[in-house]
Amino acid sequence: MKRLAPLALLGLLVACRDPAPARDQWLVTVTTDAPLPQFGDRLLVEILDEEGELACPSCRRVLGIRTEDLPLSFGIAAREEETWLRVRLYRADHTGNDGFPSSEALVDALGILPDVGGVREVSLALTLDCFGRVANPVAGTACDPTTGEVDAIGELTDSPVLVAGSWWGSQRRACGP
């Protein structure tokens, strides 16, 4: 038993060290103003290279999404090359045999991840003003969430969080004078 005491002490000393610093990464927050599940119950998240192709074999994820899951946050390990992020919100009943969206009935967002040093927070807004406007990674265009128009993609920033169901067109309005 006395022989194990030094090993136990060594284990305590190692365990009490400061944690290692976080790897360089983007901390991404995805939000939407769309009412869920009426306009979407799936997110297709893709990490792309500067040519619009998947950056790696495992750089695509399909996630089920509910209002209570938002805002959704995840980390992306930094890469040496320019990195783009594409996220699509769509309904499961608009899915092809491959599990991916089969129509333009979706909200599609695409942005460039900025230079990173440490942990860099960015956000991607899936606004219903962009519904049906499909991003084109090859051309480098996507719907601008501030205007609702297709334009050249920009660098992602840490923008305000949208609240699911808050889109102006989904608000109840009184009829008449």
Nearest to 87 by CA among 46, 138, 136: 46
Split at pLDDT 50, 70, 90, the class of 53 is: very high
CATH number, residue 105: 2.60.40
- Check residue 117 and give its pLDDT: 87
As given in the structure block, the two tokens for residue 36 are 């869920």
Tens digits of residue pLDDT in 94-120: 999 988 999 999 999 999 999 988 999
Determine the pLDDT at residue 141.
96
pTM to 2 decimal places: 0.84
Report yes or no on 3 lying in a domain. Answer: no
| Residue 127 is assigned to a structural domain of this protein | yes
Question: Does the pLDDT at position 85 exceed 80?
Answer: yes
| Radius of gyration over every alpha carbon of the chain, rounded to an integer in angstroms | 21
For residue 13, what are its two tokens? 């000393």
| Residue of 168, 134, 129, 167 whose CA lies nearest to 153 | 134
Would 14 be classed as within a structural domain?
no
64 domain residue, yes or no:
yes
What pLDDT is attached to residue 17? 66
Mean pLDDT of the chain: 89
2 falls within a domain:
no
Most confident of 4-13, 60-69, 164-173: 60-69
Has residue 82 been placed in a domain?
yes
Element (H, E) at 110: strand 106-112
The half-sphere exposure of 110 on its side-chain side, counting CA atoms within 13 A, is: 25
Total number of domains in the chain: 1
> Quick one: pLDDT at residue 166?
86
Domain of residue 84 covers 21-160
Q: Which two tokens stand for residue 147?
A: 């205007």
Distance CA 125, CA 116 (A): 20
Alpha-carbon gap, residue 130 to 145, rounded angstroms: 7
- The pLDDT tens digits of the residues spanning 1-52 come to 556 555 555 455 555 567 777 789 999 999 999 999 999 999 999 999 999 9
For the chain, how far is it from start to end, CA to CA, in angstroms? 87
User: Rounded to 5 degrees, what angle do the CA atoms 99, 36, 123 make?
Assistant: 80
Domain membership flag for residue 165: no
Q: Is residue 71 part of a domain?
A: yes
